[in-house]
Amino acid sequence: QLACPLDLAVTQLNTVYQGFPIVNTRADMILCGYITRTNLEIALEKAKSRGTVYGTTRCLFTRAAGSFSASSPFSTPYIDLSEWVDRCPVQLVDSTPVDRMYDMFKALGLRYTMITSNGKIVGMVTKKDLYLFFHNLEKEKGKAMTPLRSYDH
């Protein structure tokens, strides 16, 4: 069960990021999912419209079977965001060559991918990041790079 206070989730909406990796803990950084900025905004607005959430209300991103029963008198108030989380975001290992990464983005129509090492997130690459990489490489080399010419961004 991954949770954070509502205040923290709302703070994330004030960043430029279009989504957020969900990790088990900051210490182990094991990737558990991904939530887009849009999904987070929608889910939080729905929860706020019910009028029962506060800055300290917990936001749950994943649920273990049988945990946190909403009807349990012992459970603390929470917002269940698990239905908005992509539990299986596309992952590439940190040793993946950039040309193979390009092929994956193009073939699968990816907008982002998580970069992992032994299941731990070490980074994230977006479509824009990849485009800028090839664009800068093209400027550096002084000639058009094949992937950039065919890259649809």
CA atoms within 13 A on the CB side of 130: 27
Treating both helix axes as pointing N-terminal to C-terminal, what angle do 127-141 and 98-108 enclose, rounded to 10 degrees? 130
Average pLDDT over residues 86-96: 95
Residue 141 pLDDT:
80
C-alpha 68/C-alpha 153 separation (Å) is 42
- The confidence band for 95, taking pLDDT boundaries of 50, 70 and 90, is very high
pLDDT of residue 110: 94
Helices within 22-143 (DSSP H only) = 37-49, 98-108, 127-141
What does the pLDDT read at residue 87?
A: 93
Please report, to the nearest 10 degrees, the dihedral formed by the alpha carbons of residues 90, 91, 95, 98 taken in order: 20
122, two tokens: 């070490």
pLDDT value of residue 103: 92
Q: What is the pLDDT of residues 16-69, one digit of tens each?
A: 888 889 998 889 999 999 999 889 888 888 888 887 677 778 888 887 644 545
Which of residues 87 and 41 earns the better pLDDT score? 87
Give pLDDT, residue 97: 94
Nearest residue to 111 via CA among 32, 2, 17: 17
**What is this structure's pTM?**
0.75
pLDDT of residue 35: 92
Q: What is the pLDDT of residue 145?
A: 58
Of 78, 74, 54, 56, nearest to 1 by C-alpha is 78
What percent of the chain has a predicted confidence (pLDDT) above 70?
77
pLDDT for the residue 148: 45
